[in-house]
Amino acid sequence: MVVEQTCSRCVMDTSDRDIDFDSKGVCSYCREATRLLPKYHFTKDEEKVNLAKLADTITKRRKGEYDSIIGLSGGVDSSYVAYLAWKLGLKPLCVHFDNGWNSEISVSNINKIIEITGFDFTTYVIDWPEFRDLQRSFVKAGVIDIEMLTDHAIWAAMFRICRKNRIAFVLTGTNYTSEHGMPRSWLWRKQDLRNIKAIHGQFGERKLKSFPVMGSLRFAIAESFAIGGTGLQPLNLINYRKTEAMEVLKTVFGWRYYGGKHYESIFTKFYQAFILPEKFGVDKRRAHLSALIRNDEMTRDEAIAELAKPLYDLGDLKQDKEYVLKKLGFSEQEFSSFIKAPPVPHDFYPSDAVWIHPLMAFKKRLIRSGFIRGNDSEQ
């Protein structure tokens, strides 16, 4: 892909087809962040008030043994949510999702956190032959968001666990300061069950029996009307700085960094550092580093130096590629023909996009009128 322009403030470039630049060469994401980031910057006193309110909301709704649920991946964001919950004296159930790709470091991080916080912990194991079949289908289909399978399953399973245990809230690691500015063209809606079923229906080889699913409408209803499993975003209530959060986690829990955003999963690392750049011309580090630049956690020069480093150490790439292909059951030749084939948009296959976009627009109107509550990104 020919790179035509890079933002003068961050490191986003025209590898995102929707980006635009103003007369000073500043990209659309930087302009949006200038408007929205101040909403996520707080004084120490404001943070205290926000967290006290959060703890109050959560503990008041406790009906059973737990007041909330935390999906713990061992990554920075979810680990820091567990740290906050511990400081606030909450009683969450921590759930780890095992989709077959966990790295040793993620499991070790989780164990350390659980040992010190004393939180109850359970592992939700996704049926591997089914998950493998789904991942194979997505690779064959040529669509970009192979990771939506994990995200969909995590959310659907969380709602299930919430209902079963009468838990009202899911504490998520979602945060604006380190995650804003992710191009839409690099992702698909995680709740789009119709798209998952359509792709799997065309390319899958086995029936799905236990893979946790939930339709777009049920997601929307559960979220909007606080029917068990309403997502709360504690990291958006504090002055969240990823670099500082990592230092706290290292000191308090002996937590270890795994070398890249979401690299706590071996598949995710291979997906972000090989599949995305090779097949789709996408280097997600650009979006992650740009968010850190806008939040004053890194300079543009530091980000440029980081981008100049290879995505993969050659030895690691060989080893990870062999591991991933063997686990997914692709031959080298078969996989390389998928990588070389042109990308296919998600909505080439049946999808909820045709009705969910108008519905979401309607939902935003209801939120603005005060009829229903929305999360931060919907205000």
Q: Which residues bind Zn ion (CB under 5 A)?
A: 7, 9-10, 12, 27, 30
Which residue number, 35 or 207, has a Cβ lying nearer to Zn ion?
Answer: 35
- Minimum Å gap between C-beta 25 and Zn ion is 9
Q: What residues contact residue 149 under an 8 Å CB cut-off, 6+ apart?
A: 131, 134, 135, 138, 196
For Zn ion, which residue has the nearest CB? 7
Instruction: Give least dist CB 21 to Zn ion, A.
Output: 8
Nearer to Zn ion, 5 or 123 (CB): 5
Residues near 268 by beta carbon (within 8 Å), at least 6 away in sequence: 101, 147, 262
Q: Which is nearer to Zn ion, 95 or 291 (CB)?
A: 291
Q: List C-alpha distances in Å: 99 to 163, 264, 325.
A: 22, 12, 16
Task: Enumerate helices (H) and strands (E) in the chain, giving the number of each.
Answer: 16, 5
* Nearer of residues 261 and 286 to Zn ion, judged by Cβ: 286
Tell me the closest approach of the beta carbon of residue 26 to Zn ion, in angstroms: 6
Q: Considering the complex, state which of residue 7 and residue 82 has its C-beta at the smaller distance from Zn ion.
A: 7
Using the 8-state DSSP alphabet, how is residue 261 labeled? T
Helix (H) / strand (E) containing 197: helix 193-203
Cβ proximity to Zn ion, 8 vs 123, nearer residue: 8
Smallest separation (angstroms) from Zn ion to the CB of 7: 3
CA distances from 167 to 20, 63, 206 (A): 43, 7, 33
Q: Is the Cβ of residue 9 or residue 363 nearer to Zn ion in the bound state? A: 9
Q: Could you give the CA distance from residue 361 to residue 355 in angstroms, rounded to a whole number?
A: 10
DSSP 3-state helix, strand, coil percentages of the chain (rounded to 5)? Answer: 55, 10, 35
What's the Rg (C-alpha) of the chain? 21
Work out how close the CB of 292 gets to Zn ion at its nearest, in angstroms, rounded to a whole number: 12
The rounded distance, in Å, linking the Cα atoms of 136 and 203 is 8
Query: Considering the complex, what minimum distance in angstroms separates the CB of residue 251 from Zn ion?
Result: 33
**Continuous H helices in 329-352:** 332-340
Which residue's CB is nearer to Zn ion, number 304 or number 354?
304
CB of 27 to Zn ion, least distance (A): 3
What tokens were used for 20?
């635009």
Angle, helices 300-308 vs 285-294, to 10°: value is 160
Please tell me the distance from the alpha carbon of residue 203 to that of residue 185, in angstroms, as a whole number.
23
Question: Which residues does 229 contact at the CB level (< 8 Å), separation at least 6?
Answer: 69, 158, 159, 162, 163, 167, 168, 169, 170, 222
CB of 263 to Zn ion, least distance (A): 24
Closest distance between Zn ion and the C-beta of residue 290, in Å? Answer: 6
How many residues in the chain?
379
Q: Which is nearer to Zn ion, 9 or 269 (CB)?
A: 9
